[in-house]
């Protein structure tokens, strides 16, 4: 099972990973910032101490001429790239740098050096001394090296760590997505009526999803046992009662044959009709139990739905004309569906009979085939929206239908067959009447 990457990115493990990565980044960056500030301050304090020592030594004479001579002597043997010395006295500038020096006190300085004889940056400190101002500047290469070291630490430790954590999160999320996909697929099969569905072996060590899977399997097993027991009881009752009722029908027929010629037999006619209805009801219950058991799936093969609908409509055309109804078939597009031809034919027959039973004389029943979708529309009284789920129950009948022939199993049988085929049954308003829409999976 291949997980969609969008689902993986939206998964809980991936979201937790991203939150942890964000928290890790915030803490790491704050830690780096604090460390950088402390290291920079330490270097700056050390540079200031060094500059103070230089200033003290150069101004130790306390005489302007002595200060100027000291600055000139040290400037002659000092590389300005490492150290800047300058004395702004009454007789002009003495030192190895005569450019502009903005600011006062301890400060950073980026000199304008077209000849490239100076460093890119200096830490300067100026002090008022006898006869003028004395300035000493130390190259800030140490600070640049510190920045470079911190940049390397960020590049070679923090970023790879984040990438590794993200990769681990993606793998974990992908694994969780596969496991969730297996759980969703099993739940879909259970919801579709396949109570034998169970979760496959989930890869990896046991975790909370494994416990959820075990719980789902236990629930499905209990549901399957209960449902099978209920189906078996229903089938047993229907089967055990069907035989004596059929014997009763035979005895009624024999009684009719034994009656003298000319004796009225209306009571026997009604009794035989009731017995026939009971037999039909039990036969429908047995058919539903067999269909819900899933055994007809072994007979599935491609079926031309439009051809089957046309055939069934032709078979019911005489019955429709007898009841002053019109039966019309419209084929918008043809498509083959995978299923049992006999069961699908029974579904179409049930829907046609139901529509003819409730459609007023002179009205039409319209069957529309659009690929794998079949629509049967009538102009009868329809079904109220709040009753549409109830009419799919076994033996449930609307109050107005209790005086009409039927067992209340027609739509239940239709729903069972549609579910067996993995299709969808929808009852809609036809204004007036009922529109039954069945959508089946294609081959």
Q: Given this model, what pLDDT does residue 314 score?
A: 92
Average of per-residue pLDDT across 193-205: 72
Q: Is residue 194 part of a domain?
A: no
Of 374, 438, 415, the closest CA to residue 291 belongs to 415
Measure the CA–CA gap between 257 and 387, rounded to whole angstroms: 45
How far apart are the C-alpha atoms of 150 and 37, rounded to whole Å? 11
Which one of 292, 309, 343 terminates a domain?
292
Mean pLDDT of 66-70: 88
**Residues ≥6 apart with Cβ < 8 Å to 237:** none
Which two three-digit tokens encode residue 421? 């085929």
| 323 shares a domain with 254 | no
Instruction: Indicate if 287 and 304 belong to the same structural domain.
Output: no
Does one domain contain both 173 and 258? no
Q: Are residues 126 and 21 in the same domain?
A: yes
Mean pLDDT over the full length of the chain: 79
**189 or 131, higher pLDDT:** 131
Identify the residue with better confidence: 85 or 208. Answer: 85
Residue 103, pLDDT score: 78
Contact 403, 330 (CB under 8 A): no
Number of domains present in the structure of the chain: 3
What pLDDT is recorded for position 431?
84
Q: What would the pLDDT profile of 11-21 be if each residue is shown by its tens digit?
A: 677 777 778 88
Residues 276 and 391 in one domain: no
> Burial letters for 340-349: b for 16+ Cβ neighbours within 10 Å, e otherwise?
bbebbbbbbe
Q: What is the pLDDT of residue 403?
A: 45
H/E stretch holding 138: strand 132-139
The span from the CA of 358 to the CA of 378, in Å, is 8
- Which of 241, 260, 292 terminates a domain? The answer is 292
Together in a domain, 279 and 311: no
Q: What is the DSSP string of 266-285?
A: HHHHHHHHHHHHHHHHHHHH
If you count DSSP H runs as helices and E runs as strands, how many of each does the chain have, helices first? 10, 12
What per-residue confidence (pLDDT) applies to 1? 39
Looking at residue 377, which CATH number applies to its domain? 3.30.565.10
| CB burial string 148-173: b at 16+ within 10 A, e below | eebeeeeeeebeeeeeebeeebbebb
**Is the pLDDT assigned to residue 4 strictly greater than 70?**
no
Residue 310 falls inside a structural domain: yes
pLDDT over threshold 80, residue 87:
yes
Angle between helix 159-191 and helix 12-58 axes, rounded to 10 deg: 170
The pLDDT value recorded for residue 37 is 87
Q: What is the pLDDT of residue 306?
A: 92
Which 3 state secondary structure label does DSSP give 321? Answer: helix
**Does residue 168 share a domain with residue 37?**
yes
Of the listed ranges 18-22, 235-239, 387-391, 419-423, the least confidently predicted one is 235-239
Together in a domain, 358 and 217 = no
CA distance 279 to 261: 29
Q: Is a pLDDT exceeding 90 seen at residue 142?
A: no
| 85, β-bridge pairs | 136
Q: Report yes or no on 102 lying in a domain.
A: yes
Q: What is the mean pLDDT of residues 55-67?
A: 88
Shared domain check, 168 and 213: no
Report if residue 195 sits inside a domain.
Answer: no
CA geometry: angle 356, 358, 361, nearest 5 deg: 70
pLDDT beyond 90 at 188:
no
Statement: residue 116 has pLDDT above 70: no
Do 286 and 340 belong to one domain?
A: no
Spatial contact of 182 and 16, defined as CB atoms under 8 Å apart: no
Phi and psi at residue 393, to the nearest 5°: -75, 155
**Last residue within a domain, chosen from 151, 186, 221:** 186
Tokens, residue 361: 């004389």
- What is the pLDDT averaged over residues 176-192? 77
Q: What is the mean pLDDT of residues 378-382?
A: 86
Q: Which residue has the higher pLDDT, 54 or 287?
A: 54
CB-side neighbour CA atoms (13 Å) of 128 = 1
Q: Are 89 and 38 part of one and the same domain?
A: yes
Asked if 228 and 194 count as a contact pair (C-beta separation under 8 A), the reply is no
Residues 58 and 143 in one domain: yes
- Inter-axis angle of helices 305-322 and 341-358, nearest 10: 30
387-411 pLDDT, tens digit per residue, is 777 777 755 555 444 445 545 566 8
Classify each residue of 76-92 as buried b or exposed e, where b means 16 or more C-beta atoms within 10 Å of its C-beta: eeeebbebbbbbbbeee
pLDDT category, 168, cuts 50, 70, 90?
Answer: confident
What was the pLDDT predicted at 400?
46
Range of the domain at 401: 299-439
Judge whether 199 lies within some domain.
no
Whether 198 is covered by a domain: the verdict is no
- CATH code of the domain in which 255 resides: 1.10.287.130
Residue 50 falls within a domain, yes or no?
Answer: yes
Task: Confirm whether 193 is domain-assigned.
Answer: no
């Amino acid at each position: 099972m291949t997980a969609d990457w969008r689902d993986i990115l939206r998964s809980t493990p991936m979201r937790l990973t991203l939150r942890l990565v964000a928290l890790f980044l915030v803490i790491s960056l704050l830690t780096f910032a604090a460390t950088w500030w402390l290291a920079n301050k330490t270097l700056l304090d050390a540079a200031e101490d060094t500059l103070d020592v230089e200033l003290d030594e150069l101004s130790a004479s306390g005489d302007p001429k002595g200060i100027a001579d000291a600055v000139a002597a040290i400037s002659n043997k000092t590389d300005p790239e490492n150290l800047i010395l300058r004395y702004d006295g009454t007789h002009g500038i003495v030192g190895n740098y005569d450019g502009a020096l903005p600011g006062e006190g301890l400060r950073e300085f980026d000199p304008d050096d077209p000849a490239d004889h100076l460093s890119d940056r200096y830490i300067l400190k100026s002090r008022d001394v006898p006869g003028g101002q004395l300035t000493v500047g130390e190259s800030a290469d140490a600070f640049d090296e510190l920045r470079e070291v911190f940049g390397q630490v960020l590049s070679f430790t923090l970023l790879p760590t984040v990438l590794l954590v993200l990769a681990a999160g993606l793998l974990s999320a992908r694994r969780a997505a596969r496991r969730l996909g297996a759980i969703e697929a099993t739940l879909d099969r259970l919801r579709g009526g396949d109570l034998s569905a169970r979760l496959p072996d989930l890869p990896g060590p046991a975790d909370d999803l494994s416990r959820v899977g075990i719980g789902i399997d236990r629930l499905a097993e209990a549901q399957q046992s209960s449902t099978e027991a209920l189906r078996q009881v229903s089938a047993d009752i229907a089967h055990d009662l069907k035989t004596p009722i059929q014997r009763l029908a035979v005895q009624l027929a024999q009684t009719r044959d034994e009656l003298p010629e000319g004796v009225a037999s209306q009571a026997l006619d009604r009794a035989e009709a009731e017995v026939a209805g009971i037999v039909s009801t039990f036969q429908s219950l047995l058919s539903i139990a067999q269909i819900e058991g899933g055994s007809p799936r072994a007979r599935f093969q491609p079926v031309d739905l439009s051809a089957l609908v046309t055939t069934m409509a032709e078979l019911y055309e005489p019955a429709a004309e007898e009841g002053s109804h019109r039966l019309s078939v419209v084929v918008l597009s043809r498509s083959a569906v995978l299923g049992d031809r006999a069961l699908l034919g029974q579904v179409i027959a049930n829907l046609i009979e139901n529509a003819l039973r409730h459609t007023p004389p002179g009205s039409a029943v319209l069957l529309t085939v659009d690929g794998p979708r079949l629509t049967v529309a009538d102009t009868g009284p329809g079904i109220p929206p709040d009753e549409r789920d109830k009419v799919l129950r076994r033996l449930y009948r609307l109050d107005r239908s209790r005086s009409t022939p039927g067992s209340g199993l027609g739509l239940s049988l239709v729903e069972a067959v549609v579910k067996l085929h993995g299709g969808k049954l929808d009852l809609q308003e036809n204004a007036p009447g009922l529109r039954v829409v069945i959508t089946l999976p294609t081959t």
